[in-house]
Amino acid sequence: MTDLIRNTAAETAAAIAAGEVSAVEVAQAHLDRIGAVDEKVHAFLHVDTEGALSAARAVDAKRAAGEELGPLAGVPLALKDVFTTKGVPTTAGSKILEGWVPPYDATLTRRLKDAGVVILGKTNMDEFAMGSSTENSAYGPTGNPWDLSRIPGGSGGGSAAALAAYEAPLAIGTDTGGSIRQPGAVTGTVGVKPTYGTVSRYGLIAFSSSLDQGGPCARTVLDAALLHEAIAGHDPLDSTSIDAPVLPLVAAARQGAGGDLTGVRVGVVKEFAGEGYQAGVMQRFNESVEILRGLGATVVELSCPSFSYALPAYYLIAPSEASSNLARFDAMRYGLRVGDDGTRSAEDVTALTREAGFGPEVKRRIILGTYALSSGYYDAYYGSAQKVRTLITQDFARSFADVDVLVSPTTPTTAFPIGERADDPMAMYLADLCTIPSNLAGNSAMSVPCGLAPEDNLPVGLQIIAPAMADDRLYRVGAAVEAALNNQWGHPLLEEAPAL
Protein backbone atom coordinates (compact mmCIF):
# COMPACT_ATOMS: atom_id res chain seq x y z
CA MET A 1 0.00 0.00 0.00
CA THR A 2 2.93 2.33 0.58
CA ASP A 3 3.50 2.39 -3.17
CA LEU A 4 0.02 3.74 -3.75
CA ILE A 5 1.00 6.96 -2.06
CA ARG A 6 4.50 7.09 -3.51
CA ASN A 7 3.46 6.52 -7.11
CA THR A 8 3.43 9.44 -9.47
CA ALA A 9 0.12 10.68 -10.82
CA ALA A 10 0.96 9.24 -14.23
CA GLU A 11 1.64 5.82 -12.69
CA THR A 12 -1.48 5.92 -10.56
CA ALA A 13 -3.69 6.89 -13.50
CA ALA A 14 -2.22 4.08 -15.59
CA ALA A 15 -2.72 1.54 -12.81
CA ILE A 16 -6.35 2.57 -12.36
CA ALA A 17 -6.99 2.52 -16.10
CA ALA A 18 -5.45 -0.94 -16.31
CA GLY A 19 -7.56 -2.19 -13.41
CA GLU A 20 -4.52 -2.96 -11.28
CA VAL A 21 -5.94 -0.88 -8.50
CA SER A 22 -9.26 0.85 -7.94
CA ALA A 23 -9.65 4.56 -7.58
CA VAL A 24 -11.31 3.96 -4.22
CA GLU A 25 -8.26 2.05 -2.98
CA VAL A 26 -6.00 4.86 -4.12
CA ALA A 27 -8.21 7.49 -2.47
CA GLN A 28 -8.43 5.48 0.73
CA ALA A 29 -4.65 5.02 0.86
CA HIS A 30 -4.20 8.78 0.65
CA LEU A 31 -6.95 9.48 3.18
CA ASP A 32 -5.22 7.00 5.51
CA ARG A 33 -1.90 8.76 4.95
CA ILE A 34 -3.50 12.09 5.73
CA GLY A 35 -4.99 10.54 8.85
CA ALA A 36 -1.58 9.28 9.87
CA VAL A 37 0.63 12.31 9.26
CA ASP A 38 -1.44 15.45 8.85
CA GLU A 39 -1.68 16.11 12.53
CA LYS A 40 2.05 16.78 12.32
CA VAL A 41 2.17 18.43 8.91
CA HIS A 42 -1.12 20.33 8.96
CA ALA A 43 -1.30 20.58 5.18
CA PHE A 44 -5.08 20.35 5.13
CA LEU A 45 -7.71 22.72 6.48
CA HIS A 46 -10.51 20.42 5.45
CA VAL A 47 -10.45 16.79 4.38
CA ASP A 48 -13.45 15.83 2.27
CA THR A 49 -13.46 12.09 2.89
CA GLU A 50 -16.95 11.51 1.57
CA GLY A 51 -16.48 13.69 -1.50
CA ALA A 52 -13.18 12.01 -2.33
CA LEU A 53 -14.50 8.46 -1.99
CA SER A 54 -17.61 9.29 -3.96
CA ALA A 55 -15.53 10.80 -6.78
CA ALA A 56 -13.33 7.72 -6.72
CA ARG A 57 -16.34 5.41 -6.86
CA ALA A 58 -17.60 7.31 -9.89
CA VAL A 59 -14.28 6.71 -11.66
CA ASP A 60 -14.39 3.01 -10.81
CA ALA A 61 -17.97 2.80 -12.07
CA LYS A 62 -16.97 4.51 -15.29
CA ARG A 63 -14.17 2.07 -15.80
CA ALA A 64 -16.44 -0.87 -14.99
CA ALA A 65 -18.88 0.42 -17.58
CA GLY A 66 -16.09 0.37 -20.13
CA GLU A 67 -16.02 4.13 -20.55
CA GLU A 68 -12.80 5.81 -21.47
CA LEU A 69 -10.98 7.45 -18.57
CA GLY A 70 -9.10 10.73 -18.82
CA PRO A 71 -5.34 10.86 -18.19
CA LEU A 72 -5.82 11.81 -14.53
CA ALA A 73 -8.98 9.85 -13.71
CA GLY A 74 -8.89 8.59 -10.15
CA VAL A 75 -5.75 10.52 -9.18
CA PRO A 76 -6.05 12.26 -5.79
CA LEU A 77 -5.38 15.95 -5.49
CA ALA A 78 -5.00 18.52 -2.73
CA LEU A 79 -6.76 21.78 -3.59
CA LYS A 80 -5.59 25.10 -2.21
CA ASP A 81 -8.39 26.51 -0.08
CA VAL A 82 -8.61 29.59 -2.25
CA PHE A 83 -10.69 27.94 -4.98
CA THR A 84 -14.42 27.63 -4.35
CA THR A 85 -15.83 24.15 -4.00
CA LYS A 86 -19.58 23.75 -4.09
CA GLY A 87 -20.80 22.35 -0.80
CA VAL A 88 -17.30 22.15 0.70
CA PRO A 89 -16.03 24.86 3.08
CA THR A 90 -13.68 27.42 1.55
CA THR A 91 -11.81 29.87 3.78
CA ALA A 92 -8.82 31.27 1.88
CA GLY A 93 -7.02 30.73 5.19
CA SER A 94 -9.04 33.50 6.82
CA LYS A 95 -11.23 33.66 9.90
CA ILE A 96 -13.51 36.01 8.05
CA LEU A 97 -14.67 33.14 5.84
CA GLU A 98 -14.88 30.56 8.59
CA GLY A 99 -17.85 28.32 7.95
CA TRP A 100 -18.59 29.64 4.49
CA VAL A 101 -19.79 26.93 2.14
CA PRO A 102 -19.71 28.22 -1.44
CA PRO A 103 -22.79 27.63 -3.60
CA TYR A 104 -20.66 27.24 -6.70
CA ASP A 105 -17.56 25.54 -8.07
CA ALA A 106 -14.62 27.47 -9.45
CA THR A 107 -14.02 26.73 -13.12
CA LEU A 108 -10.79 24.99 -12.09
CA THR A 109 -12.67 22.87 -9.55
CA ARG A 110 -15.22 22.00 -12.23
CA ARG A 111 -12.47 20.98 -14.66
CA LEU A 112 -10.78 18.78 -12.08
CA LYS A 113 -14.06 17.05 -11.33
CA ASP A 114 -14.78 16.61 -15.01
CA ALA A 115 -11.35 15.03 -15.44
CA GLY A 116 -12.16 12.46 -12.75
CA VAL A 117 -9.55 13.90 -10.39
CA VAL A 118 -10.32 12.95 -6.78
CA ILE A 119 -10.23 16.06 -4.60
CA LEU A 120 -9.09 14.97 -1.14
CA GLY A 121 -9.61 18.28 0.57
CA LYS A 122 -8.57 21.89 0.90
CA THR A 123 -5.05 22.91 1.82
CA ASN A 124 -3.66 25.43 4.23
CA MET A 125 -2.38 28.77 3.01
CA ASP A 126 -1.38 32.22 4.12
CA GLU A 127 -4.54 34.22 4.67
CA PHE A 128 -5.83 35.38 1.28
CA ALA A 129 -2.54 34.11 -0.18
CA MET A 130 -0.63 36.92 1.49
CA GLY A 131 2.65 35.49 2.68
CA SER A 132 5.61 33.31 1.92
CA SER A 133 5.50 30.87 4.81
CA THR A 134 1.86 29.83 5.45
CA GLU A 135 2.36 31.25 8.95
CA ASN A 136 -0.27 33.88 8.11
CA SER A 137 -2.99 31.25 7.99
CA ALA A 138 -5.70 31.96 10.54
CA TYR A 139 -5.73 28.24 11.21
CA GLY A 140 -2.12 27.73 12.25
CA PRO A 141 1.08 27.04 10.32
CA THR A 142 1.98 24.06 8.17
CA GLY A 143 5.21 22.18 8.75
CA ASN A 144 7.73 21.48 6.04
CA PRO A 145 7.93 17.65 5.74
CA TRP A 146 11.73 17.98 5.44
CA ASP A 147 11.83 19.56 8.88
CA LEU A 148 8.55 20.18 10.61
CA SER A 149 9.97 23.12 12.54
CA ARG A 150 10.50 24.96 9.27
CA ILE A 151 8.12 26.72 6.93
CA PRO A 152 6.86 24.94 3.78
CA GLY A 153 6.88 28.21 1.86
CA GLY A 154 3.83 30.21 1.06
CA SER A 155 1.28 31.09 0.38
CA GLY A 156 0.63 27.60 -0.93
CA GLY A 157 2.53 25.81 1.81
CA GLY A 158 -0.29 23.37 2.42
CA SER A 159 -0.35 22.17 -1.17
CA ALA A 160 3.45 21.78 -1.36
CA ALA A 161 3.64 20.05 2.02
CA ALA A 162 0.86 17.64 1.02
CA LEU A 163 2.96 16.57 -1.97
CA ALA A 164 6.19 16.25 0.02
CA ALA A 165 4.40 14.31 2.78
CA TYR A 166 2.91 11.89 0.23
CA GLU A 167 -0.58 12.94 1.21
CA ALA A 168 -1.39 13.61 -2.45
CA PRO A 169 0.46 13.16 -5.74
CA LEU A 170 -1.04 16.34 -7.19
CA ALA A 171 -1.96 19.70 -5.79
CA ILE A 172 -3.24 23.06 -6.94
CA GLY A 173 -1.71 26.36 -5.96
CA THR A 174 -2.06 29.98 -6.90
CA ASP A 175 0.86 32.18 -7.69
CA THR A 176 0.54 35.94 -7.20
CA GLY A 177 4.18 36.65 -6.37
CA GLY A 178 5.65 33.17 -6.10
CA SER A 179 3.11 31.26 -4.02
CA ILE A 180 3.40 28.13 -6.15
CA ARG A 181 7.10 28.24 -7.01
CA GLN A 182 8.62 29.19 -3.67
CA PRO A 183 6.79 26.46 -1.70
CA GLY A 184 7.81 24.05 -4.48
CA ALA A 185 11.43 25.08 -4.06
CA VAL A 186 11.58 24.72 -0.28
CA THR A 187 9.74 21.38 -0.21
CA GLY A 188 11.62 19.72 -3.07
CA THR A 189 8.58 19.56 -5.33
CA VAL A 190 7.60 20.96 -8.73
CA GLY A 191 5.44 24.06 -9.08
CA VAL A 192 4.38 25.96 -12.16
CA LYS A 193 2.96 29.44 -12.60
CA PRO A 194 1.23 29.31 -15.98
CA THR A 195 1.02 32.30 -18.30
CA TYR A 196 -1.46 34.82 -16.84
CA GLY A 197 -4.85 34.25 -18.42
CA THR A 198 -4.40 30.60 -19.33
CA VAL A 199 -5.96 29.08 -16.21
CA SER A 200 -9.36 30.49 -15.28
CA ARG A 201 -9.61 32.67 -12.20
CA TYR A 202 -13.38 32.24 -11.94
CA GLY A 203 -13.88 30.97 -8.40
CA LEU A 204 -10.36 31.85 -7.27
CA ILE A 205 -10.81 34.13 -4.26
CA ALA A 206 -8.92 37.18 -5.42
CA PHE A 207 -5.86 38.59 -3.72
CA SER A 208 -4.50 40.65 -6.60
CA SER A 209 -6.55 40.18 -9.74
CA SER A 210 -3.92 41.23 -12.25
CA LEU A 211 -1.30 38.92 -10.73
CA ASP A 212 -3.16 35.85 -9.41
CA GLN A 213 -2.77 32.71 -11.44
CA GLY A 214 -3.72 29.17 -10.53
CA GLY A 215 -1.34 26.42 -11.47
CA PRO A 216 -0.19 22.84 -10.97
CA CYS A 217 1.96 21.41 -8.18
CA ALA A 218 3.36 17.88 -8.35
CA ARG A 219 6.30 15.68 -7.43
CA THR A 220 7.41 15.30 -11.05
CA VAL A 221 7.52 17.54 -14.09
CA LEU A 222 5.42 15.12 -16.12
CA ASP A 223 2.71 15.02 -13.45
CA ALA A 224 2.67 18.80 -13.39
CA ALA A 225 2.23 18.81 -17.18
CA LEU A 226 -0.70 16.37 -16.97
CA LEU A 227 -2.39 18.50 -14.35
CA HIS A 228 -1.60 21.73 -16.18
CA GLU A 229 -3.29 20.48 -19.34
CA ALA A 230 -6.34 19.45 -17.33
CA ILE A 231 -6.91 22.87 -15.77
CA ALA A 232 -5.84 25.21 -18.60
CA GLY A 233 -7.98 26.61 -21.38
CA HIS A 234 -10.27 29.48 -22.22
CA ASP A 235 -13.14 30.23 -19.84
CA PRO A 236 -15.89 32.61 -20.93
CA LEU A 237 -16.57 33.38 -17.26
CA ASP A 238 -13.15 34.99 -16.87
CA SER A 239 -12.73 38.07 -19.07
CA THR A 240 -8.96 37.95 -18.70
CA SER A 241 -8.87 34.35 -19.88
CA ILE A 242 -6.95 33.95 -23.16
CA ASP A 243 -8.85 32.28 -25.97
CA ALA A 244 -6.10 30.03 -27.32
CA PRO A 245 -5.53 26.29 -27.50
CA VAL A 246 -3.75 24.62 -24.58
CA LEU A 247 -0.10 24.02 -25.42
CA PRO A 248 1.20 20.42 -25.70
CA LEU A 249 2.80 20.41 -22.28
CA VAL A 250 2.84 16.67 -21.67
CA ALA A 251 4.55 16.14 -25.01
CA ALA A 252 7.11 18.81 -24.09
CA ALA A 253 7.80 17.08 -20.75
CA ARG A 254 8.27 13.72 -22.46
CA GLN A 255 10.57 15.29 -25.03
CA GLY A 256 12.61 16.98 -22.30
CA ALA A 257 12.94 13.74 -20.33
CA GLY A 258 14.89 12.45 -23.31
CA GLY A 259 17.66 14.70 -22.04
CA ASP A 260 18.63 16.56 -25.20
CA LEU A 261 18.59 20.35 -24.96
CA THR A 262 20.69 20.98 -28.04
CA GLY A 263 19.83 24.36 -29.51
CA VAL A 264 18.05 25.61 -26.40
CA ARG A 265 19.35 29.03 -25.38
CA VAL A 266 19.39 29.66 -21.65
CA GLY A 267 19.89 33.04 -20.00
CA VAL A 268 21.18 33.54 -16.47
CA VAL A 269 19.78 36.74 -14.97
CA LYS A 270 22.73 38.34 -13.24
CA GLU A 271 20.51 40.45 -10.96
CA PHE A 272 19.34 37.25 -9.24
CA ALA A 273 22.49 36.74 -7.15
CA GLY A 274 24.56 38.44 -4.55
CA GLU A 275 23.64 39.71 -1.12
CA GLY A 276 20.93 37.73 0.62
CA TYR A 277 21.44 34.61 -1.50
CA GLN A 278 22.43 31.59 0.57
CA ALA A 279 25.73 30.05 -0.53
CA GLY A 280 24.33 26.53 -0.80
CA VAL A 281 21.46 27.79 -2.90
CA MET A 282 23.84 29.48 -5.31
CA GLN A 283 26.04 26.38 -5.40
CA ARG A 284 23.15 24.12 -6.43
CA PHE A 285 21.94 26.72 -8.90
CA ASN A 286 25.35 27.00 -10.55
CA GLU A 287 25.58 23.20 -10.79
CA SER A 288 22.18 23.19 -12.50
CA VAL A 289 23.42 25.67 -15.06
CA GLU A 290 26.33 23.33 -15.75
CA ILE A 291 23.89 20.45 -16.16
CA LEU A 292 21.95 22.50 -18.72
CA ARG A 293 25.18 23.12 -20.59
CA GLY A 294 25.94 19.44 -20.43
CA LEU A 295 22.56 18.63 -21.98
CA GLY A 296 23.43 20.74 -25.00
CA ALA A 297 21.98 24.11 -24.05
CA THR A 298 23.91 27.30 -24.69
CA VAL A 299 24.10 29.50 -21.64
CA VAL A 300 24.57 33.28 -21.59
CA GLU A 301 24.46 35.78 -18.78
CA LEU A 302 22.21 38.74 -19.26
CA SER A 303 20.92 41.72 -17.36
CA CYS A 304 17.37 42.76 -16.47
CA PRO A 305 18.04 46.06 -14.70
CA SER A 306 14.39 46.83 -13.90
CA PHE A 307 14.05 43.66 -11.86
CA SER A 308 15.50 45.41 -8.84
CA TYR A 309 12.32 47.52 -8.73
CA ALA A 310 10.03 44.50 -8.96
CA LEU A 311 9.58 43.99 -5.23
CA PRO A 312 8.53 47.58 -4.41
CA ALA A 313 6.27 47.71 -7.46
CA TYR A 314 4.67 44.45 -6.42
CA TYR A 315 4.09 45.68 -2.89
CA LEU A 316 2.15 48.62 -4.28
CA ILE A 317 0.13 46.87 -6.97
CA ALA A 318 -0.83 43.74 -5.06
CA PRO A 319 -1.98 45.51 -1.86
CA SER A 320 -3.82 48.15 -3.91
CA GLU A 321 -5.87 45.53 -5.70
CA ALA A 322 -6.25 43.55 -2.49
CA SER A 323 -7.62 46.57 -0.62
CA SER A 324 -10.44 46.67 -3.15
CA ASN A 325 -10.90 42.91 -3.57
CA LEU A 326 -11.21 42.37 0.17
CA ALA A 327 -13.75 45.16 0.64
CA ARG A 328 -16.54 42.68 0.00
CA PHE A 329 -15.86 40.94 3.30
CA ASP A 330 -18.25 43.13 5.24
CA ALA A 331 -20.29 40.62 7.29
CA MET A 332 -23.43 41.38 5.30
CA ARG A 333 -23.92 38.29 3.16
CA TYR A 334 -21.55 35.49 4.19
CA GLY A 335 -18.82 34.47 6.54
CA LEU A 336 -18.05 35.83 9.96
CA ARG A 337 -20.31 38.42 11.64
CA VAL A 338 -19.24 40.02 14.88
CA GLY A 339 -21.16 42.37 17.13
CA ASP A 340 -24.58 41.99 15.54
CA ASP A 341 -26.51 42.27 18.81
CA GLY A 342 -29.30 44.46 17.52
CA THR A 343 -27.88 47.66 18.94
CA ARG A 344 -25.08 48.32 16.50
CA SER A 345 -25.17 49.91 13.06
CA ALA A 346 -24.23 47.99 9.94
CA GLU A 347 -21.07 50.08 9.76
CA ASP A 348 -20.04 49.08 13.27
CA VAL A 349 -20.75 45.41 12.59
CA THR A 350 -18.63 45.60 9.46
CA ALA A 351 -15.80 47.27 11.33
CA LEU A 352 -15.90 44.82 14.25
CA THR A 353 -16.03 41.86 11.90
CA ARG A 354 -13.10 43.05 9.85
CA GLU A 355 -11.14 43.81 13.00
CA ALA A 356 -11.72 40.28 14.29
CA GLY A 357 -11.71 38.43 10.98
CA PHE A 358 -8.59 39.71 9.23
CA GLY A 359 -5.10 38.84 10.41
CA PRO A 360 -2.27 41.38 10.83
CA GLU A 361 -0.65 40.83 7.42
CA VAL A 362 -3.97 41.21 5.63
CA LYS A 363 -4.68 44.40 7.55
CA ARG A 364 -1.19 45.67 6.77
CA ARG A 365 -1.77 45.17 3.06
CA ILE A 366 -5.28 46.63 3.06
CA ILE A 367 -3.94 49.76 4.72
CA LEU A 368 -0.97 49.90 2.38
CA GLY A 369 -3.17 49.50 -0.68
CA THR A 370 -5.78 51.96 0.50
CA TYR A 371 -3.06 54.51 1.00
CA ALA A 372 -1.42 53.82 -2.37
CA LEU A 373 -4.71 54.36 -4.21
CA SER A 374 -5.63 57.54 -2.38
CA SER A 375 -6.07 60.66 -4.41
CA GLY A 376 -2.91 62.67 -4.34
CA TYR A 377 -0.81 59.52 -3.91
CA TYR A 378 -2.15 57.41 -6.76
CA ASP A 379 0.28 58.68 -9.41
CA ALA A 380 3.31 58.46 -7.16
CA TYR A 381 2.53 54.94 -5.96
CA TYR A 382 0.11 52.89 -8.03
CA GLY A 383 0.88 54.85 -11.19
CA SER A 384 4.66 54.52 -10.82
CA ALA A 385 4.37 50.85 -9.96
CA GLN A 386 2.45 50.25 -13.19
CA LYS A 387 5.27 51.97 -15.09
CA VAL A 388 7.80 49.70 -13.43
CA ARG A 389 5.64 46.81 -14.51
CA THR A 390 5.94 47.95 -18.10
CA LEU A 391 9.72 48.24 -17.76
CA ILE A 392 9.97 44.74 -16.34
CA THR A 393 7.87 43.39 -19.19
CA GLN A 394 10.27 45.13 -21.59
CA ASP A 395 13.29 43.60 -19.83
CA PHE A 396 11.75 40.18 -20.33
CA ALA A 397 10.93 40.90 -23.98
CA ARG A 398 14.52 42.02 -24.63
CA SER A 399 15.88 38.90 -22.94
CA PHE A 400 13.60 36.53 -24.76
CA ALA A 401 14.77 37.95 -28.05
CA ASP A 402 18.11 36.33 -27.26
CA VAL A 403 17.25 33.27 -25.19
CA ASP A 404 14.46 30.70 -24.97
CA VAL A 405 14.32 30.52 -21.19
CA LEU A 406 15.81 32.34 -18.23
CA VAL A 407 17.01 30.57 -15.09
CA SER A 408 17.60 31.62 -11.50
CA PRO A 409 17.30 30.26 -8.00
CA THR A 410 13.58 30.11 -7.20
CA THR A 411 14.09 31.72 -3.81
CA PRO A 412 17.24 33.10 -2.20
CA THR A 413 17.29 30.73 0.78
CA THR A 414 16.14 27.32 1.88
CA ALA A 415 13.21 26.88 4.26
CA PHE A 416 13.61 29.08 7.32
CA PRO A 417 12.39 28.14 10.81
CA ILE A 418 8.76 28.87 11.65
CA GLY A 419 8.64 32.18 13.48
CA GLU A 420 12.01 33.44 12.29
CA ARG A 421 10.70 36.14 9.95
CA ALA A 422 7.22 36.49 11.40
CA ASP A 423 7.96 39.89 12.88
CA ASP A 424 10.01 41.12 9.95
CA PRO A 425 7.79 41.63 6.91
CA MET A 426 10.64 42.94 4.78
CA ALA A 427 12.72 39.79 5.33
CA MET A 428 9.63 37.75 4.50
CA TYR A 429 9.02 39.70 1.31
CA LEU A 430 12.55 38.93 0.09
CA ALA A 431 11.59 35.28 -0.32
CA ASP A 432 9.74 36.33 -3.49
CA LEU A 433 12.56 38.39 -4.99
CA CYS A 434 13.14 36.07 -7.95
CA THR A 435 9.56 35.03 -8.57
CA ILE A 436 7.75 38.37 -8.59
CA PRO A 437 8.98 39.69 -11.96
CA SER A 438 7.12 36.93 -13.82
CA ASN A 439 3.87 37.82 -12.05
CA LEU A 440 4.27 41.46 -12.97
CA ALA A 441 4.97 40.57 -16.59
CA GLY A 442 2.41 37.75 -16.78
CA ASN A 443 4.77 35.17 -18.27
CA SER A 444 5.24 31.55 -17.21
CA ALA A 445 7.73 30.02 -14.79
CA MET A 446 8.50 26.78 -13.02
CA SER A 447 10.40 25.65 -9.97
CA VAL A 448 12.04 22.26 -10.15
CA PRO A 449 14.13 20.64 -7.39
CA CYS A 450 17.89 20.93 -7.96
CA GLY A 451 19.38 19.43 -4.83
CA LEU A 452 19.93 20.06 -1.16
CA ALA A 453 21.91 22.99 0.16
CA PRO A 454 25.04 21.52 1.73
CA GLU A 455 24.88 23.71 4.83
CA ASP A 456 21.37 22.64 5.95
CA ASN A 457 20.42 19.66 3.78
CA LEU A 458 17.25 21.41 2.69
CA PRO A 459 15.83 21.51 -0.85
CA VAL A 460 16.81 24.14 -3.36
CA GLY A 461 14.70 25.05 -6.37
CA LEU A 462 15.77 25.99 -9.87
CA GLN A 463 13.50 28.55 -11.47
CA ILE A 464 12.95 28.32 -15.20
CA ILE A 465 11.22 31.30 -16.80
CA ALA A 466 9.60 31.27 -20.26
CA PRO A 467 7.74 33.92 -22.24
CA ALA A 468 3.96 34.21 -22.06
CA MET A 469 2.24 31.49 -24.07
CA ALA A 470 5.45 29.44 -24.19
CA ASP A 471 4.83 27.36 -21.07
CA ASP A 472 5.83 24.24 -23.02
CA ARG A 473 9.46 25.39 -22.86
CA LEU A 474 9.34 25.10 -19.05
CA TYR A 475 8.34 21.47 -19.31
CA ARG A 476 10.97 20.58 -21.85
CA VAL A 477 13.80 22.18 -19.90
CA GLY A 478 12.40 21.21 -16.48
CA ALA A 479 12.00 17.54 -17.42
CA ALA A 480 15.52 17.45 -18.84
CA VAL A 481 17.03 18.85 -15.64
CA GLU A 482 14.88 16.55 -13.52
CA ALA A 483 15.95 13.47 -15.48
CA ALA A 484 19.62 14.40 -15.36
CA LEU A 485 19.54 15.07 -11.61
CA ASN A 486 17.53 11.95 -10.76
CA ASN A 487 20.06 10.01 -12.79
CA GLN A 488 22.92 11.61 -10.92
CA TRP A 489 21.29 10.97 -7.50
CA GLY A 490 19.95 7.56 -8.43
CA HIS A 491 16.46 8.53 -7.16
CA PRO A 492 14.13 11.50 -6.89
CA LEU A 493 15.25 14.13 -4.39
CA LEU A 494 12.18 13.66 -2.20
CA GLU A 495 13.32 10.18 -1.23
CA GLU A 496 15.98 11.85 0.89
CA ALA A 497 13.35 13.51 3.03
CA PRO A 498 13.15 12.06 6.53
CA ALA A 499 10.30 9.71 7.32
CA LEU A 500 7.39 11.37 9.08
Partner 1 sequence: MSVIDLVPYDEALAAYDPVMGLEVHVELGTATKMFCGCSTELGAEPNSQTCPTCLGLPGALPVVNEIGVESAVKIGLALNCEIAEWCRFARKNYFYPDMPKNFQTSQYDEPIAFNGYLDVTLEDGEVFRVQIERAHMEEDTGKSSHIGGATGRIHGASHSLLDYNRAGIPLIEIVTKPIEGAGSRAPEVAKAYVAELREVIKALGVSEARMDKGQMRCDVNLSLRPHGREEFGTRSETKNVNSLRSVERAARFEIQRHAAVLNEGGSIVQETRHFHEEDGSTTAGRIKDNAEDYRYFPEPDLVPVAPPREWVEELRAALPEMPRVRRERLQGEWGISDLEMQSVLNAGAIEPILETIAAGAPADQARKWWMGELARHANESGAELGALPITPAQVARVSELVAAGSLNDKLARQVIEAVLAGEGGPDEVVAGRGLAVVSDDSALGAAVDEAIAANPDVAAKIRDGKVAAAGALVGAVMKATRGQADAARVKELILERLA
Q: Specify whether the CB–CB gap between 439 and 321 falls below 8 A.
A: no
Instruction: Examine residue 155 and say whether the peptide bond preceding it is cis (omega within 30 degrees of 0).
Output: yes
Residue 174 in the binding site for partner 1 (CB under 8 A): no
Annotated active-site residue in 22, 179, 241, 306: 179
Q: 45 vs 148, 167, 214, 257, 481, CA distance in Å?
A: 17, 13, 19, 35, 33
Distances (CA, A) of 326 to 172, 193, 205, 336, 367: 22, 23, 9, 14, 11
Nearer to partner 1, 182 or 350 (CB): 350
CA 421 from centroid of its chain's CA atoms: 21
Residue from 94, 155, 323, 408 carrying the catalytic annotation: 155
Residue 330 touches partner 1, criterion: CB under 8 A:
yes
210 is catalytic: no
Spatial CA neighbour of 34 closest among 47, 51, 52: 47
Q: Decide whether 198 or 288 has the Cβ nearer to partner 1.
A: 198
User: How many chain residues interact with partner 1 (CB under 8 A)?
Assistant: 44
Instruction: By CB under 8 A, tell whether 104 contacts partner 1.
Output: yes
Find the shortest distance in angstroms from Cβ 115 to partner 1. Answer: 20
Q: Is 92 in the site for partner 1 (CB under 8 A)?
A: yes
Going by C-alpha positions, the residue among 202, 190, 205 that lies closest to residue 231 is 202
**Least Cβ distance, residue 107 to partner 1 (angstroms):** 9
Residue 49 contacts partner 1 per CB under 8 A: no
> Which of residues 16, 59, 106, 165 is near partner 1 by CB under 8 A?
106
Q: For residue 137, indicate whether it is catalytic.
A: no
In angstroms, give the least distance from the CB of 122 to partner 1: 13
* Between 210 and 411, CB nearer to partner 1: 210
In this chain, which of 39, 68, 341, 347 binds partner 1, going by CB under 8 A?
Answer: 347
Q: Which of 158, 191, 203, 412 binds partner 1 (CB under 8 A)?
A: 203
The CA angle 81-90-215, to the nearest 5 degrees, is 30
| Residues listed for the chain | 500
The C-alpha angle with vertex 408 and arms to 404 and 412, in degrees rounded to 5, equals 165
Q: Which of 39, 68, 103, 499 binds partner 1 (CB under 8 A)?
A: 103
- Would you call 444 a catalytic residue per the annotation? no
Interaction residues for partner 1, span 350-409 (CB under 8 A): 350, 370, 373-375, 378, 382
320 binds partner 1, rule: CB under 8 A: yes
- Amino acid letter for position 146: W
What is the widest separation between alpha-carbon atoms in the chain?
73
Distance between CA atoms of residues 206 and 198, nearest Å: 16
Provide the total of helices (H) and of strands (E) in the chain, helices listed first.
17, 11
Q: Which CB atom, from 106 or from 433, has the smaller least distance to partner 1?
A: 106
Contact letters (x/-) for partner 1, 239-258, by CB under 8 A? xx------------------
Q: Distance (Å, rounded) from C-alpha 197 to C-alpha 244?
A: 10
Q: Which residues are catalytic?
A: 80, 155, 179
Where on the chain is the footprint of partner 1 (CB under 8 A)? 83-84, 90, 92, 97, 100, 102-104, 106, 201-206, 208-210, 236-240, 320-321, 323-324, 327-330, 332-334, 346-347, 350, 370, 373-375, 378, 382
